[in-house]
């Protein structure tokens, strides 16, 4: 069957734009034969792959972390270098609410049992290697893919410390390519680059890291058939949960503009319906593979 593979990048609450893109493509009967996601993109990919119907506001209510809300309201995320815990602890938020929310949404679901082939991208904190998770508990994989360094604790996965997939590749083109020989539609939900001067040495260092990731991303995006970019006029902060609806509407606008290009990638016909049902949230634990990296390294449950 003809179809496309989606590569959905990270961006916190801007991930609501991914939901809008998926809604637009579904309404246009675009067959999606694979989903790769990093961080917020991994969450949207998993929600769609398992056929869950959650509004952006509902997802925010279930997944937002009170520690992050407290930091956001106090302005700490904007002036993180002044926050004493930043130098005393390896992370600022415990992520307990986030992980509980993921378990509430996905239960015992496993990546390998997804009705649509699914790849969740994380990064090995020690080596910097991209880790392409193709099997194992969805909730734990999403926690790893969303573990922003210095904000959330890393996730231990079979002896490896995993963090946010964006560290290795902001839009998961490599993971998308592992899902099959289909055209890749990439969705980049980044804010526009800052044009002002940094206010502190730490901010300058953070911006330098972001600039490096942007450069790598631009190279990787050349491998996608179509690229949808969010580019909000005003920055939508990563943990500003009040802006999820705004991100969704902007994502819908960008997806509709890109729809003719996407339709041109495939020979549109009536796609075979994908069965998505709630029972898939509690699959049998019949398989033992947990992790598959892009180098085909496989580890097994202990």
Q: Which residues are marked as active site?
A: 39, 164
Closest CA to 155 of 60, 91, 109: 91
Q: What six digits make up the tokens of 115?
A: 């009705």
Cα separation of 145 and 147, whole Å? 6
Neighbours of 111 (CB within 10 A): 26
Q: Identify the DSSP state of 212.
A: H
Q: Which residues of 20-59 are buried (b: 16+ CB within 10 A; e: fewer)?
A: bbbebbeeeebbbbbbbbbbbbbbbbbbbbbbbebebeeb
Q: What six digits make up the tokens of 168?
A: 């290795």
Q: Residue 123 forms beta bridges with which residues?
A: 130, 163
Closest CA to 228 of 246, 260, 254: 254
What are the CA-CA distances from residue 16 to residues 23, 168, 251 (Å)?
Answer: 11, 22, 8
Helices 96-106 and 56-63, interaxial angle, to 10°? 130
In the numeric block, the tokens 């960008």 are attached to: 254
In the numeric block, the tokens 């952006």 are attached to: 56
């Amino acid at each position: 069957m003809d179809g496309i593979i989606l590569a959905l990048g990270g961006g916190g609450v801007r991930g609501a734009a991914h939901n809008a893109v998926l809604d637009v493509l579904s309404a246009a009967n675009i067959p999606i034969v694979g989903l790769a996601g990093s961080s917020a993109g991994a969450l949207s990919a998993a929600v769609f792959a398992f056929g869950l119907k959650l509004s952006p506001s509902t997802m925010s209510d279930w997944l937002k972390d009170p520690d992050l809300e407290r930091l956001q309201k106090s302005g700490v995320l904007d002036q993180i270098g002044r926050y004493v815990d930043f130098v005393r602890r390896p992370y600022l938020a415990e992520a307990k609410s986030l992980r509980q929310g993921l378990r509430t949404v996905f239960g015992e679901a496993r990546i390998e049992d997804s009705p649509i082939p699914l790849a969740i991208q994380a990064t090995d904190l020690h080596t910097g290697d991209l880790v392409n998770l193709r099997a194992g508990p969805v909730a734990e994989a999403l926690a790893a893919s969303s573990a922003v360094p210095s904000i959330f604790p890393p996730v231990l996965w079979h002896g490896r410390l995993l963090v946010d997939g964006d560290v290795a590749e902001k839009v998961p083109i490599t993971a998308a390519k592992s899902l099959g020989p289909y055209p890749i539609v990439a969705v980049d939900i980044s804010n526009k680059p800052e044009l002002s001067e940094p206010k502190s040495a730490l901010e300058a260092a953070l911006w330098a890291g972001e600039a490096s990731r942007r450069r790598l991303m631009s190279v990787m995006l050349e491998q996608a058939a179509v690229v949808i970019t969010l580019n909000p006029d005003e920055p939508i902060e990563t943990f500003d949960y009040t802006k999820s609806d705004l991100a969704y509407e902007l994502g819908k606008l960008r997806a509709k503009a890109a729809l003719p290009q996407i339709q041109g990638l495939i020979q549109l016909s009536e796609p075979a319906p994908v069965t998505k049902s709630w029972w898939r949230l509690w699959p049998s634990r019949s398989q033992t593979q947990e992790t598959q990296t892009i180098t085909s390294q496989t580890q097994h449950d202990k």
